[in-house]
């Protein structure tokens, strides 16, 4: 492969990797709403992975309107206490205050 052609591709990939997270944040905070699933696998087994995208809408977890981004959080992976939560960033309350650290 030609060295200048390789450098051009490498620069394109670098720019794409740097801009992708920025574009994703802009898309989430665009002011447009999107539909997100709202469920917790502790109370709704349909929330677990693998998630069945081919189910009828009536057989899926509840859907909520979201002004932010849809998120999936998985806790205690690989243990009997593993849980999956799907929700909207509008519904998240994250406490970043850590005591004794």
**Gap between the Cα atoms of 77 and 7, Å rounded:** 40
Residue with tokens 């989430």: 28
pLDDT at 61 over 90: yes
SS3 of residue 75 by DSSP? strand
pLDDT at 59 over 60: yes
Summarised one tens digit per residue, pLDDT across range 32-49 is: 888 999 999 999 999 998
Kindly indicate the confidence band of residue 97, based on its pLDDT and cuts at 50, 70 and 90: confident
In whole angstroms, how far apart are CA 77 and each of 9, 40, 73, 83, 95? 37, 15, 10, 8, 21
**This model's pTM is above 0.75:** no
| Entry field: residues in the chain | 101
């Amino acid at each position: 492969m030609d060295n200048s052609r390789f450098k051009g591709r490498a620069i394109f990939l670098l720019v794409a990797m740097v801009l992708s997270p920025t574009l994703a944040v802009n898309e989430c905070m665009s002011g447009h709403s999107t539909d997100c699933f709202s469920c917790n696998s502790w109370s709704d087994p349909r929330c677990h992975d693998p998630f069945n995208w081919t189910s009828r809408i009536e057989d899926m977890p509840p859907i909520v309107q979201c002004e932010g981004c849809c998120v999936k959080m998985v806790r205690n992976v690989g243990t009997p206490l593993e849980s999956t939560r799907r929700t909207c960033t509008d519904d998240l309350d994250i406490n970043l205050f850590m005591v004794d650290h």
